[in-house]
Amino acid sequence: MASTSSSTPAAEVEERGRKRKRADGPEPATGPRPSKWRTRREHEIYSFKLFEAIRLVRAGPSTAGAAGPPSGRAVREAADRALAVAARGRTHWSRAILASSRRRIQAVRRARLRAPASPSPRHRAAASASASTSATGEGASTPPLVRSARVLGRLVPGGRRLPFPTLLEETTDYIAALEMQIRAMTALAEALSAISATNSSSSTGAGSSSS
């Protein structure tokens, strides 16, 4: 009788534990989640947006009456905008890139209306000297981890005022997005080079046959 009465509460506790586990559902899978930027679908989406952005950049100077290919900065900004659009504004860095692009467009429009006054060389030298002095004084009294976080916040768009755990998540996602951007731009450059080589060889063959 004693053994039966002592085993009954333990069995009830075990049964309640099994019911609680079934109600909570299956345990989440452990381990890091794969980055969405490494999927083939995201690569195709960004490649299409990148091609359209570069096409618009190349068409821009011709409409404005200027000659020559677009600058490397214009291509880089177009690639970053396409990357932010592909992120759909779900991260701080993508929203910061889109906001910076809008501010740059507004600044260009204002510059067309009135020419901004450029600061004198003496003013620029004084500003750079004060910035270097403040940076030196700040680095001497700031802990190394805080300095590293501030440097990381300057590298990641929109990361200056983020908490450190959020900054690490943004940095991980931003690095994965940049890796996909490099792969897409490399593939696009190789495809354009192959098309250019094919066109040049066909035009050379047509010229030799006509002569």
Return the pLDDT at 21: 57
pLDDT of residue 98: 92
Consecutive sets of 10 residues in the chain, 211 residues long: mean pLDDT of each? 52 66 50 67 90 84 51 87 90 93 77 61 52 51 88 93 94 94 92 83 65 56
Distance CA 36, CA 86 (A): 11
What is the DSSP track for 139-194?
HHHS-HHHHHHHHHHHHSTT-TTS-HHHHHHHHHHHHHHHHHHHHHHHHHHHHHHH
Q: What are phi and psi of 27, to 5 degrees?
A: -70, 145
Q: What is the pLDDT of residue 125?
A: 52
Which CA distances in Å does 142 have to 129, 139, 145, 160?
20, 5, 8, 16
Structural tokens at position 38: 């490494």
pLDDT of residue 182: 94
Residues 155 and 171: their CA atoms lie apart, in Å, by 9
Compute the distance between CA of residue 172 and CA of residue 155 in angstroms, rounded to an integer: 12
Q: Give the Cα separation of 40 and 183 in Å (integer).
A: 12
Look at residue 93 in the predicted model and tell me its pLDDT. 95
Which pLDDT does position 136 carry in this prediction? 47
- From the number of C-beta atoms within 10 Å of its C-beta (0-12, 13-18, 19+), residue 47 rates as buried
Q: Identify the pLDDT of residue 54.
A: 86
pLDDT of 65 reads 46
Residue 170, Cβ neighbours under 10 Å: how many? 22
pLDDT at 63: 42
Our measurement of the distance from residue 120's CA atom to the centroid of its chain's CA atoms, rounded to an integer in Å, reads 35
pLDDT of amino acid 171: 95
Residue among 149, 175, 33, 159 nearest 95 (CA):
159
For position 160, what pLDDT does the model report?
Answer: 92
CA distance 130 to 132: 5
pLDDT at 27: 46
